[in-house]
Amino acid sequence: MAFGNRKTKEIFHNKKLELEKSYQQALNALKSEVASKDTSSMHKEIHKASEILNKHKNSHETLQITTSFQANEKARYKNESVLIAQILDKGYYLIETELGMRLRVHGSLLKKIQKPPKTNSNPLKPSFLNLKKRAYALI
């Protein structure tokens, strides 16, 4: 899991640097036009700067970290345990909730269920039981 976290941080860091660079470009263009004091070119540069900034705002580039699932595998969807009923195309899955409702969801919305740690199948018996057995043996 640590690898996924490092990769995610790296992706977000690169995206942040890209946005900061774009912001600085737009800001520098505005500063240069304000210094010229030509209102018509100022308005054009303001428009260009807003286009640069909106390019990032409108990009539907979502950072989706998907994990692959198999059919009949249990997963978690919105804090609810679901069963993967079918694998669809483009990263979508057909899931079935515990109530029997079937939904088509993207893999990025699903989470793997962590298996609980294995416990010892032979739990230690309390010592007072051994004392009872010894007491019956003495009688």
**Domain extent listing, the chain:** 2-58, 74-112
Q: Which H or E element spans position 96?
A: strand 92-97
Query: Side by side, which strands form the sheet with 74-77?
Result: 102-106, 92-97, 80-87, 74-77, 110-112
Q: Which two tokens stand for residue 104?
A: 């088509």
Global pTM value? 0.42
The pLDDT, as a whole number, for residue 121 is 62
* d(C-alpha 70, C-alpha 45), whole Å: 52
Give pLDDT < 50 ranges for the chain.
Answer: 1-2, 60-63
- Are the beta carbons of 83 and 74 closer than 8 angstroms? yes
